[in-house]
Chains A and B, each alone.
Chain A
Amino acid sequence: MSVIYILWLRELKRYSRSRAQVFASLGSPVLYLIAFGFGLGPVFQRAGQGSYLQFVAPGVIGMSVLFASIFSGIGLLWDRQFGFLKETLVAPVPRLHIMIGRTLGGATVSMLQGSLVLILCLIAGFRPAHITDIPLAVMFMALIAIVFAALGTAIGSTLQNMQGFQLIMNFLVMPIFMLSGALFPLANLPVGLTVATRVDPLTYGIDGLRGAFIGLWYFSLPADVLVLGGVASVFLVLGARAFSRIQI
Chain B
Amino acid sequence: MIRVESLVKKFGDLSAVDGVSFDVGAGEIFAFLGPNGAGKTTTIQMLTTLLVPTSGTIAIDGLDPRTRAHEVRRRFGIVFQDPSLDSELTAYENMELHGVLYHVPRRIRTERIERLLTLFELWDRRKTLVKQFSGGMKRRLEIARGLLHTPKILFLDEPTLGLDPQSRNQLWTHVKHLNETEGVTVFLTTHYMDEADRVAHRIAIIDHGRLVAQGTAQQLKQQTNTDSLEHAFLALTGSTIRDERADAADQMRQVVRMWRR
Contact = CB atoms under 8 A, between A and B. Distances in A.
Given A94-B70, A247-B52, A84 B84 contact: yes
Nearest to A84: B86
Contacts of B52: 247
A6 to B, nearest CB: 5
Interface string A77-112: 001111110111111111000000000000000000
Interface in B94-153: 96-98, 100-103, 129
**Those 8 A-B pairs whose CB atoms lie nearest each other, nearest first:** A91-B101, A83-B84, A92-B74, A92-B73, A248-B50, A161-B248, A87-B84, A83-B83
Interface in B41-57: 45, 48-52
Interface in A138-182: 160-162
A89 B50 contact: yes
A18 interface: yes
Contacts of B96: 6
B41 to A, nearest CB: 10
A135 B242 CA distance: 62
A14 B88 contact: yes
B1 interface: no
A90 B86 contact: no
Contacts of A88: 101
Interface of B: 45, 48-52, 70, 73-74, 76, 78, 80, 82-89, 93, 96-98, 100-103, 129, 248-249, 252-253, 256
Contacts of A91: 73, 98, 101-102
Contact of A2 (B51, B86, B100, B249): B100
Contacts of A2: 100
A18 B70 contact: no
Contact of B98 (A17, A18, A86, A87): A87
A247 to B, nearest CB: 5
Interface size class of A (residues with CB under 8 A): 20 to 34
A13 interface: yes
Nearest to B93: A13
23 contacts: A3-B101, A6-B101, A10-B93, A13-B88, A13-B93, A14-B86, A14-B88, A18-B88, A79-B86, A82-B83, A82-B87, A83-B80, A86-B84, A87-B84, A87-B86, A89-B50, A91-B73, A91-B98, A91-B101, A92-B74, A93-B73, A93-B101, A248-B51
Nearest to A2: B100
Contact of A17 (B48, B70, B88): B88
Interface in A1-30: 2-3, 6-7, 10, 13-14, 17-18
Given A86-B50, A87-B98, A92-B103, 4 more contacts: A13-B89, A84-B84, A89-B49, A91-B102
Contacts of B100: 2-3, 6
B50 A90 contact: yes
A247 B101 contact: no
A15 to B, nearest CB: 10
Nearest to A79: B86
A167 B126 CA distance: 40
Nearest to A81: B252
Given A2-B100, A92-B102, A162-B252, A10 B86 contact: yes
A248 B42 CA distance: 10
A191 B87 CA distance: 49
Contacts of A6: 96-97, 100-101
B23 to A, nearest CB: 22
Contacts of B84: 83-84, 86-87
